[in-house]
Amino acid sequence: MPTIGIFEAKARLSEIVRQAEAGHRFTITVRGRPVAEIGPSHQAEPAPTAEERRAAVERLMHPKIKGVSDDEIRAAIEEGRH
């Protein structure tokens, strides 16, 4: 695991994060003493598949929303007036 000083890590943070995303791990040091590690997140989810993306678009294009009738709206308004 490569060791990087804190000042270098600050200067190269974007690059280090991209490399961590690709699976690399780094040890951050302060005055030569290891204090932190940067690496890939175990919580990161894989990118959705083409089928998952198509299904998501379909759900957006054709939502299954139950409408509210005029009578239900009137009843709610009347109930609020009491």
Q: What is the pLDDT of residues 23-82, one digit of tens each?
A: 899 999 999 999 999 998 877 677 789 999 999 999 889 878 788 889 988 998 988 876
Q: If you ran DSSP here, which 8-state letter would residue 41 be given?
A: -
* Domain assignments of the chain as residue spans, ordered by start: 3-81
Cα dihedral 69→73→74→78 (10° resolution): 150
Distance (Å, rounded) from C-alpha 59 to C-alpha 12?
Answer: 41
pTM score: 0.50
